[in-house]
Amino acid sequence: MPKLPEGVLNLPKDYNRDSLKQDIVAGLTVIIMLVPQGMAYALLAGLPPVMGLYASTIPLIIYALLGSSRKLAVGPVAMASILIFSGVSLHAEPQSSEYITLVLLLTLMVGVMQFVLGIINAGAFVKFISQNVINGFTSAVAITIGFSQLENFFGIEMPNQSRILPLLTALFQNIPDIHIPTAMIGTVSLLILTGLRRRTKLPLALLVVTLSIVAVFFFRLDQEGVQIVGGVPKGFPGIALPPLDLSAMQVLFPTALTIALIAMMESLSITKTLAGKDSPPLNVNKELRAIGLSNMIGACFSAYAVTGSFSRSAVNHGAGAVSQVAMIITAAGVGLTLFFLTPLFYYLPQTALAAIILSAVAGLINIPSLRYAFRIKPADGVVWVVTFAATLLVGIQWGLLIGVGVSLCILINRISHPHIVEEGWDEISKSYRDVKRFPQAKRVSGKVLLRIDARIHFSNVSYLEKVVETAIKEAEENMDTLHDVVIDMGGVNDIDTAGIEALERLIRKYKSREHINVWFVQLKGPVRDLLLRAGWKERFPDVMSYLPLDEFLKKKQEPNDYMI
């Protein structure tokens, strides 16, 4: 095979004809899944189904050429689709020309944001969105997606809403208006998709599409009120940059930022899950740039926002894909579908597409992650629940922001309340242990022994001083005399100027008022360097030691050559 330039398609060094055959098989397998899914997700986004096919061609090729993952399958996904619908439907009627223009502008904005984040190496900031926020958000969005598809699934009127209460109200009010033929097609389609999922390797989505088209065509169900896709344009639309309307961009900015971040989180999660031993190291910022360019260029070809798809990536991986050549095969297949096969989709009922969406998003409701969070750390479970509830009740964009806000508040609270324990001598283990965790550990007469297990900085110094002062006060009440306060700094890796000033206040306060010596032991090198630069060698030469707590207490009566 002719050798491609280094970096293009990220091909393995041993790529050969057999590898190409594997990629062709994987690419063809994904086509079967992507064509019906792409059309369904476009409908979910409030767009003509054909735009899902547009989003499954050019963006795939761009990512294949520039991305760092060999297994990631990009394209339309349910999450981005519902985010687009919830953000843009507030400003224009879905499927209208104005709506499509806004969606293409939004896609361009998403791409620019992702590309810029990749350029400035900001991929690490995505990690500040905790997994519990993502799990709660995704689970709520899956439910919202499900309710949003009931209009097509049952043939009833539903409001353009992303909040659960108006959707529930509309559903109950419109139950008498359910269109029976539409509901029957949708129900049978959903039963096929869910009931046969683990019993056959057949492409169930394609099977549902084929059977439903045949049923509508032969029984003329479109004349009985079953909504169909109708005419699907052939070929590609003209290349055009979406109109850059500044007022529209301001309105769409929150939605664009949400999609950019969530899309990147999904792609990174999928890439890490499917990465094998032979996979190249994941380059977060390269991924941002590749997906960003896919969306920027795709917007000029009437494609809406794409990202990594877990289901299609898993199929791509399972089918033996070796590189992103598989995605180029997939894009070429969708392109051929656009040019030659679109008339076949004329009688495709929208309820079948709704069934495809419902079966795909059911797996996004991640209840096990909620149980796990509450079992390990209840505060993380609270973050999950708050994000979930806020997304359902307040709205999709606000739900994510509220979840991130609560998560950061809990993080700040943890940082500002570092783990500080009082230690005592445990005769059984012959070591100093936490007196609360090990009841057999006894406090040492005349001494308060504390251990700090966190970095000391401006946000936690007041808590640190309070804990030390409380421990000293309790010791003075329970001991005849108190001579020494020894603070084990073995768990402290860093300290800022506010932390150093707080330690100096403790030294001065108890030395001058109470005649109590304050010692800092097991000081690590970086912390010692900071204290020495703060002038402690001259001002407090006898309070610092590099020895562990037990050795320090043994040698404290000896000459102080063990001091710093």
What pLDDT is stored for residue 6 in this prediction?
44
Residue 174 covered by a domain: no
Distance CA 213, CA 564 (A): 83
Q: What number of other Cβ atoms are within 10 A of residue 168's Cβ?
A: 12
Count of the separate structural domains present in the chain: 2
Q: Are residues 500 and 396 in the same domain?
A: no
Q: Are residues 404 and 424 in the same domain?
A: no
Provide the whole-model pTM: 0.80
Per-residue pLDDT tens over the stretch 406-427? 999 998 999 999 999 999 999 9
Q: Are residues 149 and 44 in the same domain?
A: yes
Q: Is the pLDDT of residue 488 over 80?
A: yes
Q: Are residues 434 and 286 in the same domain?
A: no
Distance CA 387, CA 173 (A): 28
Q: Are residues 249 and 324 in the same domain?
A: yes
Q: Are residues 472 and 533 in the same domain?
A: yes
Q: Are residues 207 and 242 in the same domain?
A: yes
Residue 387 covered by a domain: yes
**Bridge partners, residue 466, by sequence:** none
**What is the pLDDT of the chain when averaged over all its residues?**
88
Residue 165 covered by a domain: no
Q: Are residues 97 and 186 in the same domain?
A: yes
Q: Are residues 521 and 383 in the same domain?
A: no
Residue 532 covered by a domain: yes
Q: Are residues 465 and 486 in the same domain?
A: yes
CATH number of residue 497's parent domain: 3.30.750.24
Residue 429 covered by a domain: yes
C-alpha distances in Å from residue 123, one per residue of 113, 117, 134, 268, 283: 12, 7, 16, 10, 9
Q: Is the pLDDT of residue 277 over 50?
A: no
Per-residue pLDDT tens over the stretch 204-242? 888 899 999 999 999 999 999 999 988 888 888 889 999
The secondary structure element, H or E, covering residue 452 is strand 447-452
Q: Are residues 402 and 433 in the same domain?
A: no
Of 339, 374, 409, which residue constitutes the final position of a domain? 409
Of 409, 434, 457, which residue constitutes the final position of a domain? 409
Q: What number of other Cβ atoms are within 10 A of residue 58's Cβ?
A: 23
Residue 169 covered by a domain: no
Per-residue pLDDT tens over the stretch 504-531? 999 998 887 667 889 999 999 999 999 9
Minimum mean pLDDT range among 26-30, 69-73, 294-298, 449-453 = 69-73
Q: What is the mean pLDDT of residues 365-391?
A: 94
Minimum mean pLDDT range among 323-327, 429-433, 465-469, 559-563 = 559-563
Per-residue pLDDT tens over the stretch 294-350? 999 999 999 999 998 877 887 787 777 888 899 999 999 999 999 999 899 999 999
Per-residue pLDDT tens over the stretch 38-83? 999 999 999 999 999 999 999 999 999 988 787 788 999 988 998 8
Q: Are residues 424 and 506 in the same domain?
A: yes
Residue 359 covered by a domain: yes
Distance CA 287, CA 308 (A): 10
Residue 172 covered by a domain: no
Domain that holds residue 475: 420-556
Cα atoms in the Cβ-side hemisphere of radius 13 Å centred on 487: 27
What angle, rounded to 10 degrees, do the helices at 180-195 and 350-361 form? 40
Of 379, 409, 439, which residue constitutes the final position of a domain? 409
